[in-house]
Amino acid sequence: MKTVLVTGVAGYIGSVLARQLLDNGYKVLGVDALFFGGDAIIGMYNHPNFSFRKGDVRDAALMQDAIKDSDAIVHLAAIVGDPACRQQPELARSINGDGSKQLFDLARKAGNIERFIFASTCSNYGKMEGDEYITETSALNPISLYAELKVEFEKHLMANPGGKDGMVATPLRFSTVYGLSPRVRFDLTVNEFTRDLSLGRTLKIFGEQFWRPYCHVEDLARSCIVVLEADRELVDGDVFGVGDTSENYQKKMLADEMAKIIPDAKIEYVKKDEDPRDYRVDFSKIRDRLGFTITKRVPDGIREIHEILRDGVISDPDSTKFRNSNPEAI
């Protein structure tokens, strides 16, 4: 039985991925500094194949020890999102930049890690030129520290492929995520808009015409397992976008979907002609080469967020624990 080291295991994506790995017969060794608490992993503690070490991925001794006991790594731990990185630039450089490189280099030297998967982002593309769909070969145009650090670390991985016997390195450029997870986030567009409309607020939408690709958290997490299990020559030192070409939406399209599901949704549009991120992405590569397809679409995510709020399961959806940055300081 293979052991997968998941960094950021208590996070929005990590807590979903860890459960999927356990369900697929893997052992999971989770590492997390628990910046947002550990509630998301409570439900796995009684699973015989789950273990956890609380700590910082920058702690070389801790990570060397965890690497020793693992066969593969999915590296998710990071300061996540443009606002959070803008608020804590030094910490972001230290974790997302230096800390990630140190982890990768330790894993490569250790010799026992077969796969290293890294959570990158479609934010690396910035803004599209004209109407062309973006692919993995399009130019990168990071316009935030968050994306700059992702691009930098992607390059480090792609410059160090495993070759015939070494550690296979694969960055994945995730779409913007949505949907329910044991660690809910309400600072992601679909989840945040749905929350506000479900609570009867008037949703003000800026830049309704700008495009972005979206992917459900369960599908994103599953893409890591697809890559983990792919033949090494199909994924070594190569980058894949994760999502589905039919799931690119303008913000107005998201609002239209919400209005179909949420009764009396109140939506106002505020004119804005500039958005630093505006792109439609073609995800044929991961579908054609690895057979990855999605199981959920944006309306499914809207429905599940709306229902959990309607049913009163989340008592304080405005709590700061559901966001990665301090809204006062953005």
Query: Which is closer to ligand NAD, CB of 26 or CB of 174?
Result: 174
Residue 78 engages ligand NAD in binding (rule: CB under 6 A): yes
Q: Which stretch binds ligand NAD (CB under 6 A): 55-63, 108-116, 125-133, 248-256?
A: 55-63
- In whole angstroms, the minimum distance from the beta carbon of 32 to ligand NAD comes to 4
Residue 65 engages ligand NAD in binding (rule: CB under 6 A): no
**Residue from 2, 47, 53, 58 in contact with ligand NAD (CB under 6 A):** 58
Query: Which is closer to ligand NAD, CB of 91 or CB of 313?
Result: 91
Residue 80 engages ligand NAD in binding (rule: CB under 6 A): yes
Residue 298 engages ligand NAD in binding (rule: CB under 6 A): no
Residue 95 engages ligand NAD in binding (rule: CB under 6 A): yes
Integer CA distances (angstroms), 226 to 143, 232, 289, in order: 30, 12, 11
**Where does residue 169 rank: exposed (0-12), middle (13-18), buried (19+ CB within 10 A)?**
buried
- In whole angstroms, the minimum distance from the beta carbon of 78 to ligand NAD comes to 4
Query: Which is closer to ligand NAD, CB of 80 or CB of 145?
Result: 80
**Residue from 6, 28, 119, 267 in contact with ligand NAD (CB under 6 A):** 119
Site pattern 159..198 for ligand NAD (x: CB under 6 A)? ---------------x-xx-----x-x--x----------
Can you give the binding site for ligand NAD, defined by CB under 6 A? Answer: 7-8, 10-14, 31-36, 56-58, 76-78, 80, 95, 99, 119, 121, 174, 176-177, 183, 185, 188, 324
